[in-house]
Structure 1
Amino acid sequence: MSTPIASPTIQAGADILERVLAARGNLVALEGGEDMDLVSQLRLLVRRTGQTVYLWNPETGLGNLREEHGGLPGSQRLSVALRYVQQSNHFGIYFLQRPPLPLAMADATLLRQLARTTTGHVRRIVLLDPPEPLLASFNDVLVRLSCVSNAVRRPRLRDGRWLL
């Protein structure tokens, strides 16, 4: 019996998810996700692997990516979704798509608390393609990642030093 080979789409989503999990902080800015249709890739991945990954956007609210139409009722407001994340005692990766700008002071405070909170379980909040003003306001607690993979560059020797 042979093992199925993951499709390139699922593999790209898995690589990004691994990088998010390996990030040093709880608040991650992921740039380039809309360009590569990351949400669709992650949806396929979590359906196969059973990972706990959520997506919030202002239209549908907070929902588990495994379930197409299931979601947290009344969570179209960011504050409701952030309170849900704060009260969760389980592993979870929460993607926030198109957060309202400017953020309400209560939302910004709660997001900053979540970024600094250390728990016994992994909880990552990922800002998907955040606008620059949002990045600037959380620069001290934010880890930046890009969906665009850097081309593998080989080190070369120049003037007695190795350069990439």
Structure 2
Amino acid sequence: MSDPKTELPIIQKLFERIVQSPEHVIALDTDNPDELLAQMRMLAIRGGTSIYAWDPEGGITPLREAGLYVPGTKRLADALRYVLQSMHFGVYLFMAFEEFLRPAETLFLRRISRTAMRSERKVVFVGHQVALPEELDGVYQALSMAPHASQRLRLRDGRWVS
């Protein structure tokens, strides 16, 4: 596992990218969703940010308070309805979602993406090579946690190159 002190600034930058995204629905590609969730939990606890996670066994839970679940959010459609009706800022991480989204769930995601919200709410599907249905093309943003080799500077022949 990575050093939490060095990883937190990376997660803060990712969190800022999520919040500043023009889209309300985001597909986040990561090789290690469990580590991402742990780092987001630390960010929520230390920074007091409203980050929630969903899993099919418990539903939506605030990352700041382990063990508390929002009643009636175990099913994905119910969780998306809750996000749509919520009046508060929040980033909702959907970790163990089914690759195949049913029409009702796709409809909720389209409504979330079109709704002008007073307080930002972001629905983030997290996984390895997340693929959302074709019906959602153009209404979500794809982000990646994978490091880009071209962005790393290297010293070659006495000069820095990317």
The TM-score bracket by the shorter chain reads: 0.7 to 0.9
User: Which of 21, 44, 47 in structure 1 is aligned with 2:45?
Assistant: 47
Residue 8 of structure 2 contacts residue 39 of structure 2 at CA under 8 Å; is this kept in 1? yes
Alignment-derived partner of residue 56 in structure 1: 54
Aligned partners of 1:24 and 1:65: how far apart in 2?
24
Residues 90 and 114 (structure 1 numbering): CA distance in 2 closer, same or farther, change over 3 Å?
Answer: same
Residue 75 of structure 1 contacts residue 81 of structure 1 at CA under 8 Å; is this kept in 2? yes
Q: Which runs of 5+ in 2 are unaligned?
A: 154-161
User: Which of 106, 109, 129 in structure 2 is aligned with 1:108?
Assistant: 106
Per the normalisation by structure 1, the TM-score is 0.81
Residues 44 and 153 (structure 1 numbering): CA distance in 2 closer, same or farther, change over 3 Å?
Answer: closer
Aligned partners of 1:35 and 1:86: how far apart in 2?
24
Aligned partners of 1:137 and 1:33: how far apart in 2?
25
**Alpha-carbon shift at residue 105 of structure 1 (Å):** 1.3
Read off the aligned partner of 1:78 and give its amino acid letter: L
Secondary structure in 2 matching 1:79 = helix
Tell me how many residue pairs correspond in the alignment: 150
Aligned sequence identity (%): 31
Aligned partners of 1:150 and 1:85: how far apart in 2?
32
User: Which of 81, 84, 89 in structure 1 is aligned with 2:82?
Assistant: 84
Q: Which runs of 5+ in 1 are unaligned?
A: 1-5, 155-163
**Alpha-carbon shift at residue 49 of structure 1 (Å):** 0.6
Read off the aligned partner of 1:128 and give its amino acid letter: V
1:12 aligns with 2:24: no
Per the normalisation by structure 2, the TM-score is 0.82
Report the RMSD for the aligned CA atoms in angstroms. 2.1
